[in-house]
Structure formats: structure tokens, C-alpha cells
Amino acid sequence: MSFHPPQRTLMGPGPSDVNPRILSALGQPTIGHLDPSFIQLMDEIKDLLQYVFQTKNELTLPVSAPGSAGMETCFVNLIEAGETVIVCQNGVFGGRMKENVTRCGAHAVMVEDEWSKAVDLEKVTAAIKANPNAKALAFVHAETSTGVQSDAAALCALARAANMLSIVDTVTGLAGINVDVDGWGADAVYSGTQKCLSCIPGISPVTFSSRAIDVITNRKTPVQSWFLDLNLVMGYWGKGAKRAYHHTAPVNSLYALHESLTIVKEEGLQASWDRHLHNHLALRAGLEAMGLSLIVDEADRLPQLNLVGVPEGIDEAQVRAQLLEQFDLEIGAGLGALAGKVWRIGLMGYGSNSTNVRLCLSALETCLISQGHGIKGGDAVAAANRVYAG
């Protein structure tokens, strides 16, 4: 039998709701991955990715796999066995960076911060001073597990001043907050399609500076991953009409990515960032009207991913189950040290809109009242409406 998924509203940490325009693009006729029309599409995708990353990097492309493969692409191409990498961890994905370093046969020097806190610049400065021969500094700009953003500009500047490469995870950041690759002077940056780009999962946009390209092309040893070896992939995603076959690109998924990026450019980057922030402020007002608190310090919050403390006496898993069963609404649970203590509420891309904010607040209010949380129905949406009214 054919599969027919339920119609959900996705307000967790990802994937996000996919714009119908993108779903429509996905259903267009499949053509060959070396078809001249597809080569033209590839060039347009590169241009659009340069726009959203705010970069002129020639090596800017979508990896044919999810954000985790974008992460691995950066590490396996830039890091060789025996080298040292300073890795910042303030959530789950800093830990995955460490795992990548280890699997490259390199040594990870960890700079650890409390989950829900931004990366501490003073700790990073001390780590760089203690490890002057480290090849790279790796950090998560937008930590999906905690809803925290760290100071990418300052961290990239520290790396560059120490003549180290910077490897940056902005899977949840791209199109939701300012991602300024050239302004930061970042060397390797990766993201994902299923967050603020509101595209389907399965593609990872990446971009590499000329300094990073020099490292990749002058490696002492071959990249251990044939599929992710950019020395080979560049032949397919390079310039000109003639491309060297490397792999069969996910043609229809790239139709979807192209449409997603086109939508972002139509709206404009600043307008997209402003929309995410405005909806975050309305959601915050409603949550606070219910007596709920946002865990992350205001200066470090991701507007597109909100870490909400679970009230005392509330069964957080039951709330999530009720939201899904009664309202077809998905929010996320806490991970690691935050498991059972928080919810993660996403306002990403197409899903960052006033309708979703009001639905989430009203539904969450219903669930809390059903567990005896002493709040008055309607207050949360009213508070959000006041924000929308200006």
C-alpha cells in the first residue's frame, strides 16, 4: 500500500514545515545529472548559496547528504592524522565535531561550556595559547540541541589571528540569523536544508575559503572518504559546462533546494532574519504569560529555536504526546543534560509565522491546564497578539 503521512505542523528542532512551492518543485520531471539544463541549475544553486552564506567563495556547493555529512566533509578534507584541533562544545553537536576529529586520527582539545551557554571566548583564547600548533578551531555557531548562538565573528577572528583554520556549524543558523561567511573570515562552514531554508532534509550546503582550498589540494594523505573528497567533487561542481562525473546527484532534491533559495532571495536576508525575530518575540510573550521561561540568556538566544523550561510537576513527554495526538503539532524534547527538563520549540523558515505561534501557544496552554498547571486559558495568545499589534 502507498504511504500517506499525517499532516503535521512541525515546530521542533527540525525538520521544519516545507513551503508548498518547494514540494511542487520536488515533483518536477527528473532529468539526468549531467544534462545541460541540470548543469545550468547547479550554477544557479551555487550563486544562490553564495548569497545566503554572504560569500564569494568559489568552492560553495550542496553536499548530497544531510548536515552531518556537511560536517564530515569539512573535517575529512581539512584534517589529517596526528594534527590537533581545538573543539568547542556547549551542546550535542560540538561532541559530534570531536568524534569527527578523532576519526580523522587527529587530537581534539576540548573547550567545554555549560549547555544553554554560549562558547566562552576567554576559554578559547586560553586553549589557543596552550596549543599554538593546532590546525583548526571548530565550533557550533547555532547549537541545535540548546538554542544557543555563539559569537562566530569573534571566534573566527581568534582562529585567524593564530593562523588556524575555522570550522563552523551553522545548520540551524542559515537564513534564520546573520551568517556572514566573508565578514567573519570563516574557512569552512556547513549547514542543512531542513531548518530555516524550509527545504526537505538530505542536503548540506557547504562553503570553503581559498585558504581552506589550499589545504585541501595540498594534503599529504588522501581524504579517507572517497565520496566526500572535495578534490574529486570539485570536478563535478566546478566551472563550465563540462563536468567530471563523480556521483549521481539527487536531482529532484536539488530542484527543491533551488526553489528554497529562490524564496529566501525573494524575501531578502534581512527580512528573513527580522521575521524570525518578530515571531520569536511573540512566542516569548505568550510563553511568559503562561509562567514559562526561556532558559538561554537573551543575548545568546536563537530566535528560530527556543529552549523552554518545563514547569515543576509537569510530565513533559506527556505534553509532547498530547500536542502530537490532539493538535498534530510537533515540538522537541531536551537532549543530554537537558533531557526531561526542557522543550525545544522551533520557528524555522516557512514555519516561522504568526499562525503557528498562536497554534503552539493555544495548544500548549491546553496541555498544561489538563495537567493542573494553574493558568488562565487565552492569556498566552492575547500576549502574542499584543506583540503582533505593535
Report whether pLDDT(242) > 80.
Answer: no
| Whether the Cβ atoms of residue 358 and residue 8 lie closer than 8 Å to each other | no
Tally Cβ neighbours within 10 Å of residue 218: 7
| Whether the Cβ atoms of residue 95 and residue 118 lie closer than 8 Å to each other | no
**Which set of grid coordinates corresponds to residue 27?**
515533483
pLDDT at 243: 86
The chain-wide mean pLDDT, for the chain, equals 97
| Whether the Cβ atoms of residue 178 and residue 168 lie closer than 8 Å to each other | no
Report whether pLDDT(386) > 70.
Answer: yes
pLDDT digits (tens, 9 = 90+) for 248-295: 999 999 999 999 999 999 999 999 999 999 999 999 999 999 999 999
Rounded to whole angstroms, the Cα distance separating 145 from 338 reads: 9
Per-residue pLDDT band for 241 (boundaries 50, 70, 90) equals low
Write the single-letter amino acid at 162.
A
Percent of the chain surpassing pLDDT 90: 97
- Is the dihedral angle over the CA atoms 285, 288, 289, 292 positive or is it negative? positive
| Whether the Cβ atoms of residue 347 and residue 198 lie closer than 8 Å to each other | no
Residues 6+ apart with CB under 8 A from 270: none
pLDDT at 189: 98
- Domain positions in the chain are 20-266, 269-388
Phi, psi of 350 (to 5 degrees): -60, -30
Rounded to whole angstroms, the Cα distance separating 84 from 102 reads: 10
Per-residue pLDDT band for 238 (boundaries 50, 70, 90) equals confident
Residues 6+ apart with CB under 8 A from 115: 90, 91, 145, 146, 336, 337, 338
pLDDT digits (tens, 9 = 90+) for 69-115: 999 999 999 999 999 999 999 999 999 999 999 999 999 999 999 99
Out of 3.40.1280.10, 3.40.640.10, 2.60.120.10, 3.40.50.300, the CATH code matching 20-266 is: 3.40.640.10
Out of 3.40.350.10, 3.90.660.10, 3.90.1150.10, 3.20.20.20, the CATH code matching 269-388 is: 3.90.1150.10
Rounded to whole angstroms, the Cα distance separating 112 from 102 reads: 17
pLDDT at 364: 98
Q: Which helix (H) or strand (E) holds 269?
A: helix 269-289
Lowest mean pLDDT among 157-161, 238-242, 258-262, 324-328: 238-242
Rounded to whole angstroms, the Cα distance separating 270 from 88 reads: 28
Rounded to whole angstroms, the Cα distance separating 147 from 202 reads: 22
Rounded to whole angstroms, the Cα distance separating 69 from 150 reads: 22
Per-residue pLDDT band for 239 (boundaries 50, 70, 90) equals confident
Angle formed by the axes of helices 269-289 and 251-267, to 10°? 80
| Whether the Cβ atoms of residue 230 and residue 73 lie closer than 8 Å to each other | yes
pLDDT digits (tens, 9 = 90+) for 338-372: 999 999 999 999 999 999 999 999 999 999 999 99
pLDDT digits (tens, 9 = 90+) for 9-32: 999 999 999 999 999 999 999 999
pLDDT digits (tens, 9 = 90+) for 163-214: 999 999 999 999 999 999 999 999 999 999 999 999 999 999 999 999 999 9
